Chains A and B, each alone.
Chain A
Amino acid sequence: MKRSKRTCASASLGLAFGVTVMACAGGSGRPRTFSTDWLDDQGKSIGEVQARLKGTRPSPTSDVVLAVAGAKSEKLLGVPLSGAPPWAFSHAMDARPVLAGGVAIGSGGGELFALDAATGKKLWSRLSGGLALIGAGDDGVVTALTLSRGTGSTILIVDRSGHVAREIETDKQAGDPAVVGGVVFVPWANQYVSAIDASSGDELGRVTVRDKVSRALTIGGALYFGEVAILRFDDQIRRASQGGASRVVIPARELPGTPRLLVPGTEKQPAGATARDRDRLFARPSAPEGPLGIDSGRFYASYFCLVLGFDAGLGQLTWVHTHASDVIGGEAVRGGVLLCDEEGGITVLDSRSGQVSHTASFGEPIQSCVAHADTYQAPQSREVGTSLAKQVTEAVTNREATLVTAQRLLLRELALVSEESATKTLIDIASDPRAAPLLVADARAAIATRRNGITAMLASLGKHYDFLRDVLLSPPVGPIADALEAMKESKGAPLLASHLVDPANTDDDLRRAAAALATLASKEELPLLRRFFAMYRSSGEVDDVGLAVASAAEAILRLDPKAGRALIERATKDPMTGNAARARLEVLLTAAPGALQVK
């Protein structure tokens, strides 16, 4: 067993690997490994590492999708995106597999194992000592694995034969590592990334990151650090502690649920997908060089069976994909997003349109999925696709109860779409007795703000509650009345008037319909207005009805000033007129010119 000369602390191995034990080390001008007394060197040490590795790209590429399958999570399935044959490997799985370069790392049955990610061929296996697999990186020569010990971490550096070349133990929580050119990059303490020489275990450099960081990733030939934001390891990395690194972040905007772009690299991921896997964000850094952005200008959010595509610049919703089953994993790829569903389907969506551009399958239902794509490019879909309004409509009319959170968001998005069909969709939802109450409320609020879709509004007002014909929810009379009034659309007046005498409408709808009629009604509606006024001036039980009576009176007064005034004055003097209505009628008479006293 080889022991480092600079060992300054160590802990019990707990693993019978028979390899070098090292906890921390220090050298001239370099931080001691995982030391917390290190003073930020303004990027000097990490700059040196970057200079040393300049031109060194993570050598192996990996374009593969892995899934844990089987009722007891006893299978690992691989589908290479290159079109190579899929593979299966039987092994107990107690953690989510990790794709590290061209290697698939698994954990279960008391051991760690590595497979060739392209073929499923077993490379090596080792006892895990009961430690939980957290993450792994690989540069084609060595694989670095982070294992959690509960109160600290163990980092193993393993060569292709399975020989543990080095083991580093620390009391710090280390995150998901990456390996480039023999240097292991280990995020830790949510703010540092230490660059450790794989052969010596020495910390070569360290960078302090201003965003929370727990993952080091190789994507498309470049190295990145991140969790909340993504930082590229390039010649700007030395400026990271001053916030000057090449950095990209997803624009802040409302999203369904609380999706995460990157799961914290210090968390053990269970073999099977959890609720958090159904609520994810996907984005891919744009390129290894040049200004750092988001690939294709798109980021993606999944929420159960819905996938939303957003503009990476402004955060605007650009498309919605409704999937046949719940999405439980995936990865942003060049030109699109790759998704795995619980039925074992693999679907690639075109970033521009959200249309399906490629499909594949694991051939059976899966428990969870991980994907990595270095060079894979999503094919461009030939489908034009439907309008955003129609895509949203499909999503919000889905009956799946778990979707309500996303559907509410989409309804708000729909309210911003200027197409008339959006108005119709909102009305359909607000009129659907099977729709979730929260959705109905949102749809009603949105309808009131619409300034188009008059045809749909009038068609809706033409409907009334009808028990025999299964129309068990009145149309959204109030919101439509608001919209028609704002648009000064008098065509709706006869229909609104008919709703004054429909007892199935809510008090709120009644009040708003009457308010709209105060400005929209014509003489054609006078008989119904008079009838309503008479019926409810004395027997309106609630304030909304009283307000509606006052609005009806306003319309009557406008359309028939002489007789109308007489009617209203009589009503104010009638002791049976309700107090709330009377007060409003008196205000109305005072405000209206041309008093005609009735005795």
Chain B
Amino acid sequence: MRLTCFAWFVCLASPTLALALEANAAAQEATEAKSLKPAPAVTRVDVRPIVAKLKTAEAQRIQEALDEARLAGPAAAAAAPSIAEAVALGLSLPLTQFAVETLGELESDAGTAVLTQYAVHRNTKVRRAAVKALTRTKGPAAIVALEHALADSDALVRGTAASGLGAMKAKTTVGELFLALDHRVNEAAVSIGQLCNPEQCEKLASKLGKLSFDVVTGGLDQVLFRPAVEVSDDAKVKVLGRIREQGTIEGNKFLKEIQKRAVAPAFSARVRQAIDQAVLATAGGVK
């Protein structure tokens, strides 16, 4: 996993951010896997027994159905409409939460509609589960729901939504993510780094010195490792310049980490040179 604790000080300094990075990394891995390799053939399971149990309206049987669906994961995606229907009709609180989580496991967009409703459930655990599930079921409705969840009263809901929007490549939400970042939704930094255009990336870099260094560089790391077709070398050099301008020890440590991982051909010679110079320039940095 490329992004998991790429910078140890990020993980130590900000457990929440570390979690967010992990979530983003997982999402990114999934995306990369889709783009680089042909999608593995998912062996579909026969969901008819699951659906039959869901229709019994008996708590025990529904629980069994959800267990089976969850175990099968995306292979049981065909059961998602029935689970969604059961949720929409109303289940007990524990079953509601379990069903919502299961919909996430199935990664079927058939679950998105009902999950958007439960993303504003009064129970915080259900809300968290729904928002997390939406990051896996995806779709435009999921993006709208996650954008809305950025303003939730619960910090975990906000953080999960922020991470999810990055993983879902929801570029239209960068403005809201900046607003979230300004409101200490630190997970938004990584997502902004994944989604920003050159101007937005520059804006993120301008947060250095205003927000926690670890938080901002969590996002800048994403910027530097994005392909050149998304973020130009010019933009990356500007970001490096911002970090260099800080002239701090923590900036130097961050740049050294980047230096280790910045290898050709993903990184152009120009960017690598800029990294090397920045490392040298910040070597005697202030604390």
Choose, from A115-123, A229-237, A533-541, the stretch at the interface: A533-541
- Interface residues in A456-491 (C-beta closer than 8 Å to B): 465-469
- Check if B59 is an interface residue, CB within 8 A of chain A: yes
Residue from B90, B95, B127, B158 within 8 A of A537 (CB atoms)? B90
Given the known interface contacts A468-B179, A503-B120, the answer about A535 and B90 at a Cβ–Cβ threshold of 8 Å is yes
Choose, from B149-157, B208-216, B224-232, the stretch at the interface: B149-157
- Check if A72 is an interface residue, CB within 8 A of chain B: no
| B-side contacts of A541, CB under 8 Å | 93, 122-123
Q: Which of A539, A545, A577 has the most CB of B within 10 A?
A: A539
| A-side contacts of B127, CB under 8 Å | 503
Interface digits, A498-521 against B, CB 8 Å rule (1 contact, 0 not)? 000111100000100000000000
Task: With both chains docked as a complex, state the minimum distance between the C-beta of B180 and any C-beta of chain A, in angstroms.
Answer: 6
A577 to B91, CA, bound (A): 8
Task: With both chains docked as a complex, state the minimum distance between the C-beta of B239 and any C-beta of chain A, in angstroms.
Answer: 25
Minimum CB distance partner of A501 in chain B: B120
Task: With both chains docked as a complex, state the minimum distance between the C-beta of A451 and any C-beta of chain B, in angstroms.
Answer: 31
- Check if A531 is an interface residue, CB within 8 A of chain B: yes
- Contact size class for B? 20 to 34
A465 to B157, CA, bound (A): 14
A574 to B120, CA, bound (A): 24
Q: Is the CB of A467 within 8 A of B90?
A: no
Q: Is the CB of A538 within 8 A of B91?
A: yes
Residue from A466, A533, A537, A545 within 8 A of B151 (CB atoms)? A466
Residue from B59, B92, B117, B183 within 8 A of A539 (CB atoms)? B92
Q: Is the CB of B57 within 8 A of A467?
A: no
Q: Is the CB of B93 within 8 A of A539?
A: yes
Q: Is the CB of A538 within 8 A of B151?
A: no
Task: With both chains docked as a complex, state the minimum distance between the C-beta of A525 and any C-beta of chain B, in angstroms.
Answer: 16
- Check if B176 is an interface residue, CB within 8 A of chain A: yes
| B-side contacts of A533, CB under 8 Å | 90
- Check if A575 is an interface residue, CB within 8 A of chain B: yes
Task: With both chains docked as a complex, state the minimum distance between the C-beta of B92 and any C-beta of chain A, in angstroms.
Answer: 5
Q: Is the CB of B153 within 8 A of A576?
A: no
Q: Is the CB of B151 within 8 A of A469?
A: yes
Minimum CB distance partner of A548 in chain B: B122
A535 to B127, CA, bound (A): 12
Given the known interface contacts A467-B158, A538-B92, the answer about A575 and B59 at a Cβ–Cβ threshold of 8 Å is yes
Task: With both chains docked as a complex, state the minimum distance between the C-beta of B59 and any C-beta of chain A, in angstroms.
Answer: 6
Q: Is the CB of B150 within 8 A of A468?
A: yes
Given the known interface contacts A466-B151, A539-B96, A541-B93, the answer about A534 and B88 at a Cβ–Cβ threshold of 8 Å is yes
| B-side contacts of A466, CB under 8 Å | 151
Residue from A468, A510, A531, A535 within 8 A of B183 (CB atoms)? A468
Q: Is the CB of A538 within 8 A of B176?
A: no
Q: Is the CB of B151 within 8 A of A576?
A: no
Interface digits, A107-148 against B, CB 8 Å rule (1 contact, 0 not)? 000000000000000000000000000000000000000000
- Check if B121 is an interface residue, CB within 8 A of chain A: yes
| A-side contacts of B59, CB under 8 Å | 575-576
- Interface residues in A302-334 (C-beta closer than 8 Å to B): none
Interface digits, A528-556 against B, CB 8 Å rule (1 contact, 0 not)? 00010111111101000100000000000
Minimum CB distance partner of B147 in chain A: A468
- Interface residues in B170-185 (C-beta closer than 8 Å to A): 176, 179-180, 183
Q: Is the CB of B93 within 8 A of A467?
A: no
Given the known interface contacts A575-B59, A576-B92, the answer about A536 and B151 at a Cβ–Cβ threshold of 8 Å is no
Residue from A465, A468, A536, A538 within 8 A of B122 (CB atoms)? A536
| B-side contacts of A502, CB under 8 Å | 120
Residue from A504, A510, A545, A576 within 8 A of B95 (CB atoms)? A576
- Check if B41 is an interface residue, CB within 8 A of chain A: no
A534 to B85, CA, bound (A): 11
- Check if B254 is an interface residue, CB within 8 A of chain A: no
Task: With both chains docked as a complex, state the minimum distance between the C-beta of A468 and any C-beta of chain B, in angstroms.
Answer: 5
| B-side contacts of A575, CB under 8 Å | 57-59
Task: With both chains docked as a complex, state the minimum distance between the C-beta of A225 and any C-beta of chain B, in angstroms.
Answer: 62
- Check if B89 is an interface residue, CB within 8 A of chain A: yes
- Interface residues in B113-129 (C-beta closer than 8 Å to A): 117-118, 120-124, 126-127
Residue from A535, A538, A545, A574 within 8 A of B117 (CB atoms)? A535
Minimum CB distance partner of B57 in chain A: A574
Task: With both chains docked as a complex, state the minimum distance between the C-beta of B78 and any C-beta of chain A, in angstroms.
Answer: 23
Minimum CB distance partner of A571 in chain B: B90
| B-side contacts of A577, CB under 8 Å | 90
Task: With both chains docked as a complex, state the minimum distance between the C-beta of B131 and any C-beta of chain A, in angstroms.
Answer: 12
| A-side contacts of B176, CB under 8 Å | 468
User: Could you show 30 A-B contacts with beta carbons less than 8 Å apart?
Assistant: A465-B151, A467-B152, A469-B151, A469-B179, A501-B120, A503-B120, A503-B122, A503-B124, A504-B153, A510-B122, A531-B117, A534-B88, A534-B89, A535-B90, A535-B117, A536-B122, A537-B90, A538-B91, A538-B93, A539-B90, A539-B91, A539-B92, A539-B121, A539-B123, A545-B122, A575-B57, A575-B58, A575-B59, A576-B90, A576-B95
A residues whose Cβ falls under 8 Å from a Cβ of B: 465-469, 501-504, 510, 531, 533-539, 541, 545, 571, 574-577
The 4 A-B pairs with the shortest beta carbon distances in the complex, nearest first, are A539-B93, A534-B90, A538-B90, A468-B151
Give 7 new A-B contacts, CB below 8 A, not counting A535-B118, A574-B57, A574-B90. Answer: A467-B158, A468-B179, A533-B90, A534-B88, A538-B90, A538-B91, A541-B93
